[in-house]
Amino acid sequence: MPEMPEVQGLVAFLGERAVGRTITRTSVGNIAALKTFDPPNNALHGAEITASARHGKFIVLSCGDDLHLVFHLAKAGWLRWYEMLPTTLIKPGKSPIALRVALNDDSGFDLTEAGTKKSLAVYVVRDPEEVPGIARLGPDPLEDSFDRAAFAALLEGRRMQIKGLLRDQSVIAGIGNAYSDEILHAARMSPYAIAGKLDEAEVDRLFTAMRTTLTDAVAEASGKPPADLKDAKRRGMQVHARRGEPCPVCGDTVRSVFFADRSMEYCPTCQTGGKPLADRRLSRLLK
């Protein structure tokens, strides 16, 4: 799933390449992906893109102040950019393309989604806050105002496991499964630790790990075209999706805990006192 650093990379790329261009055509390949009907998607035709922005994992392409194309790439979605947009007809239901956007210099992009479970979402709205997922977002962890004190206040009293809290978009915006694994590894913290029970030193480590991990990943994504962002993400991972490989810090074997539709990766030596975690449904919580 694209998370904050990759989404920010896409936003920066679109800011350089799409802002200032006019949308000449939109073609919907998966009608279920389009979550709004007023304004209609053809309201974008003839509109100039004036800004590109990120809200959590949502990308917002603004056409002035009162018309916005908003999309969330979900688990298996991506943006495919073309300097010369294909002219082939999109057949709804027969293609991985959810939406095609054509620009007035013959460039454009497709929003694509692999697999059979379709979760990619597209909105055409007058205000980004009309999108339910944006309206309920928590603070952005890289905002200057989200300092260590704000982070500590957010953790206070919460009975959630820290892995789940980091992934909860209503608590902190933009972090998903991959970067929560990376942040917890950098902080030397069990994913099952309870957020509200962290001591001051643990809060310090976690806040520093979160800011450093995300800042470095955003910097790595900066300036890369969409086609290169996924590989850059994979190269930067220390434990996520590296089950069975040696931990780059201590050399222990990276382990996984599996869930219904995902897994989490961690290093026992770095994070859980050398104890492998059992399946979440069978394990007692480890601090």
Pull the structure tokens for residue 40.
Answer: 């209609």
What's the pLDDT score for residue 279? Answer: 65
Please say if 57 is a catalytic residue.
yes
What's the pLDDT score for residue 83? Answer: 97
What's the pLDDT score for residue 118? Answer: 86
What's the pLDDT score for residue 285? Answer: 44
Taking residue 201's Cβ as centre, other Cβ atoms within 10 Å add up to: 8
CA distance 171 to 156: 12
CA distance 237 to 102: 34
Which of 2, 96, 141, 191 is labelled catalytic? 2
What's the pLDDT score for residue 92? Answer: 80
Which of 211, 243, 262, 280 is labelled catalytic? 262
Q: Cis bond leading into 39, ω under 30°?
A: yes
Please say if 83 is a catalytic residue.
no
Please say if 2 is a catalytic residue.
yes
Residue pair 119/74 in contact by the 8 Å Cβ criterion: yes
Please say if 129 is a catalytic residue.
no
What's the pLDDT score for residue 262? Answer: 83
Which of 5, 6, 54, 57 is labelled catalytic? 57
Residue-wise pLDDT for 193-207, tens only, equals 999 999 999 999 999
Question: How many Cα neighbours within 13 Å face the side chain of 129?
Answer: 3
What's the pTM value of the predicted model, to 2 decimals?
0.93
- Residues in the chain with pLDDT < 50? 281-287
What's the pLDDT score for residue 280? Answer: 54
